[in-house]
Amino acid sequence: MTSVPHPTHDAEELCPAGRELYERALREGHVPAEAARATPCLLDFGLLHPAVDDLHRLEPVVPAVALRRLLRISGERIASERRREERLAETFGPLLAAPGHDPSSAGTPTLTLLSGKERINRAITEAMADASRELLTVQPRARITRDRVEAAYAVATSRDQALLDRGGRIRTLYQHTLRHSPLTVAHQERLTGDIEARALDEVTDRLIVVDRAIAFLPADTEGALALEIRHPAIVGYLATAFDRLWRLATPVFPEALPQPSLNGVTPRQHAIAALLVEGHTDAVIADRLGMNIRTARVHIAKLAATLGSQSRAQLGFLIGRSGILDREA
């Protein structure tokens, strides 16, 4: 029977299975180590730890102690980001006052560090409210729970539709692994107007460009910090980078095109082959292409079968000899 991967989540969003096991450990004083295999979050968050006299038994950390430790870690992270904000201000302050800086734009900083998901969403919504022409977005695979994805789409749908109603257009780049996602499909189908989406095996990190005048980029790996960019040269560069990726991408919405194959090698396997010859591990390949490691290994096995490879070392040699990397991706 295939095991279900444990969902990625933060400590404040303890999964139901983790909560149930933690409560059991608090009631009984301990649980078997085997019982926590399906809920690694309890060990990751320090809610369970091995017993000193029996490594096969896990004992619970008192909730008050765990809470204090997690709050301390959160406080340290916030303090670190505040120090980063101060360093950014010290670095860019003199540059904003340098000769050539347009004084008429002094009231609108060209770079603003936004902290907190609510503030980030508010800034994007405000920028979208003033938009009239175009929204460009890059959406890689989200590393958040389904509930948070649904909430994000709910916010995006209303502001996206408002732009479409004003005669604007929306262009979105997804990773190929998202093109069949029910949430992604539902979001696209709810919108009416000049909207189009394309997909690539690999995309850049998340990007939002509004009217080619304002851009938003993530500033950390957790989605709690973002850069709001209003400098014309930087925004123009990001929009041009988007345009080039767009021309390389495969149309997905409003109608997906079939994925062609060459000599039995699909575009997905072609992308995997390129990463294999660069020496990347299965885990890195899966991360780069936005899929889980099990799916990556299935594709690698199919590629090996197509090329007649009997080993990982031979696969790299056969990929090079086959010439599949000599054609356009």
Please give the Cα distance from 86 to 94 (Å, whole number). 13
Q: Which of 136-145, 147-156, 266-275, 303-312 has the lowest mean pLDDT?
A: 147-156
pLDDT above 50 (res 286): yes
Q: Which of 137-146, 218-227, 259-268, 300-309 has the lowest mean pLDDT?
A: 259-268
- Where is average pLDDT lowest: 3-17, 138-152, 153-167? 138-152
Look over the chain and give the mean of its residue pLDDT values, rounded to a whole number. Answer: 80
Tell me the C-alpha distance between 36 and 28, whole Å.
14
Q: Is the pLDDT of residue 82 over 90?
A: no
Distances from the Cα of 248 to the Cα of 177, 206, 241, 295, angstroms: 16, 17, 11, 24
- Name the residue with tokens 């902290």: 115
What is the per-residue pLDDT for 257?
Answer: 45
249-276 tens-digit pLDDT: 888 876 544 455 556 676 677 777 778 7
The rounded distance, in Å, linking the Cα atoms of 181 and 177 is 8
The per-residue pLDDT for 110 is 85
User: Does 212 score more than 70 pLDDT?
Assistant: yes
Q: Could you tell me if 213 and 133 are in contact, meaning their C-beta atoms sit under 8 angstroms apart?
A: no
What are phi and psi for residue 75, nearest 5 degrees? -65, -40
**R_g of the chain, CA atoms, integer Å:** 24
- What is the predicted pLDDT for the residue at 256? 47
Give percent of the chain with pLDDT exceeding 70. Answer: 82
Q: What is the dihedral of CA 55, 58, 63, 65, to 10 degrees?
A: 0
Q: Taking the complete model, does pTM exceed 0.75, yes or no?
A: no
Three-state DSSP class for residue 158: helix
Beta strands per DSSP E along 25-150: 31-32, 48-50, 57-60, 111-115, 134-139
Lowest average pLDDT, out of 195-204, 230-239, 289-298, goes to 289-298
Specify the pairing of strand 214-218 against strand 207-210: antiparallel
81 Cα distance to chain centroid? 20
Out of 73-87, 207-221, 296-310, 314-328, the most confident range is 207-221
What is residue 230's predicted lDDT score, i.e. its pLDDT? 92
In b/e form, how buried is each residue of 218-235, taking b as 16+ CB within 10 angstroms? bbeeebbbbbbbbeeeeb
For the chain, report the end-to-end CA distance as a whole number of angstroms: 36
